Amino acid sequence: MKESRLMLVQYVTAVAAVVLVSFHLVMQGVIYPYTTAISYDNILSVYRNGFYAIFLEALLVVVLVHGFNGVRIILQEIKQSKPWTTWVDVGTVVAIMITVAYGTRTLVLAVFGGSA
Amino acid sequence: MTDLKLVVQRFDPFRDAKPRMMEYPIPRREGMTVLDALLHARDYLDHSIALRFSCRQASCGSCGMKINGRPRLACYTQLAELGGEKVVVQPMDNFAIIKDLVTDLESFFAKHTEMMPYLIRADKEEMEHPSAEYLMKPQELEKVLQFTYCIKCGLCTSSCPTVATDSVFPGPQALAQAYRYAMDPRDEGGEKRLELLDGAHGVWRCHFAGSCSYVCPKGVDPALGIQLLKRHVMSGKVPHKEGAKVFTPPVPQK
């Protein structure tokens, strides 16, 4: 993928992360008091709420893509060689896939009644 | 007037393990520049000081160096504007040192050349042997004019934090020139240049620190050119050009 496309992804996920994280903080810090928000029962009920589960999955993907793409950019500036570039690019995709899969697993287990 | 303490970084890569600082007392005179002080030190105190200079009027870009920690042209920096009794002179950062204040600009010029800093025409024959003049509108000239003032001194590149870590990054000078030619209405090679810049070490590695524009002795704003270049690289095309109007000057009548 061209670097301009990856940077477009970076900018879009940055804006999306600000919107989603703001909404999340308002919901979990202002509308619900923080101490209630982090209680186990409340977290489970949030996970099992369809709208919020989709919202959390979106937040997970957006933040991880933005974060790992940012790390990729930093790593590309540290060292310059074709193998390094390839390893960093492949490593970034793998890291995003693993972390998104792990986060999604937590949500899925909670939604379907397993122990999250 | 009291003497000035001129502290010069000395380093010969073939003889020295690391750079050392040497101090020279220089008698001040009115209107003295850092280059004048260095030439006084070299002519009367130590013939072995190596420095590069030529025009002495900020036109050739040869005497770029770090003066009191900031990249400047030695010929364009008055001692009076620096103030204080001591002036520390070091070679530019981000370049290999050939000797003392002389840095190796080979990669700098290679990156400049990579950007194809010349007008490209689709018609090769016309490019090599233009049949007429190509006119620009004043508004079109305005867009690129400041970038034509670049004297390739390397100060912007020496101040760039990305160049410090990414040796493949073209640097602010080369990128500003890429913008200058890509935006020229007489040029037809804009897309080719944009393609060149859309890589992992291209235009996107500029983080807009702005130090290049801050240190430019000619008032060029490379950081602006790079940000505008990003917009065109993102869209994948240079802005619509009406195309330069061919103008055939009248043949003088005898």
Q: B-chain residues within 8 Å CB-CB of A76?
A: 166, 200-201, 205
What is the second-level CATH architecture of the domain B4-103?
Answer: Roll (3.10)
pTM: 0.88
In whole angstroms, give the CA distance from residue A45 to residue B4.
75
Q: Which residue does chain A place closest to B232, by CA atoms? A: A4
Q: Which residue does chain B place closest to A74, by CA atoms? A: B205
CA neighbor of B122 nearest in space, from B180, B188, B182, B171: B188
Nearest CB among A3, A8, A77 relative to B199 is that of: A3
> CB contact, 8 Å: A8 with chain B?
yes
Residue B37 near residue B72 (C-beta atoms within 8 A) = no
Q: A-chain residues within 8 Å CB-CB of B200?
A: 3, 76, 85
Q: Look over chain B and give the mean of its residue pLDDT values, rounded to a whole number.
A: 92
Per residue in B51-86, pLDDT (tens digit) is 999 999 999 999 999 999 999 999 999 999 998 999
Q: Are residues B205 and A80, on separate chains, in Cβ contact within 8 Å?
A: no
Q: What is the pLDDT of residue A18?
A: 98
> CB contact, 8 Å: A4 with chain B?
yes
* pLDDT over 70 (residue B185): yes
**Residue B233: pLDDT band by 50, 70, 90 thresholds?**
very high
Q: Are residues B234 and A8, on separate chains, in Cβ contact within 8 Å?
A: yes
Per residue in A11-57, pLDDT (tens digit) is 999 999 999 999 998 988 788 777 788 888 888 888 888 899 999 99
CA distance A101 to chain B (A): 27
Nearest CB among B165, B233, B236 relative to A77 is that of: B165
Q: B-chain residues within 8 Å CB-CB of A4?
A: 198, 204, 233-234, 236
In whole angstroms, give the CA distance from residue B254 to residue B250.
12
Q: What is the CATH number of the domain that holds A89?
A: 1.20.1300
Q: What are phi and psi of B47, to 5 degrees?
A: -70, -10
Q: Which residue does chain A place closest to B169, by CA atoms? A: A77
Tokens of B249: 């000057």
Containing structural domain, residue A106: 3-111
Whole-Å CA distances, A15 to A8, A9, A34, B230? 11, 10, 25, 18
> What's the total number of domains in chain A?
1
Per residue in B208-227, pLDDT (tens digit) is 999 999 999 999 999 999 99
Helices (H), B15-91: 34-40, 79-82
Around Cβ B43, how many Cβ atoms within 10 Å? Answer: 10
Nearest CB among B167, B169, B198 relative to A4 is that of: B198
Residues of chain B with pLDDT > 70: what percent? Answer: 93
Q: What is the pLDDT of residue A14?
A: 98
- Residue linked to tokens 């004043």: B138
CATH number of B106-235: 1.10.1060.10
For A37-74, letters b (16+ CB in 10 Å) and e give beeeeeeeebbeeeebbebbeebbbbbbbbebbeebbe
CA distance A84 to chain B (A): 11
* pLDDT over 80 (residue B252): no
* pLDDT over 70 (residue B245): no
* pLDDT over 60 (residue A115): no
Residue A116 lies inside a defined structural domain of this protein: no
Q: Which residue does chain B place closest to A4, by CA atoms? A: B234
The β-bridge relationship of strands B245-247 and B133-135 is antiparallel
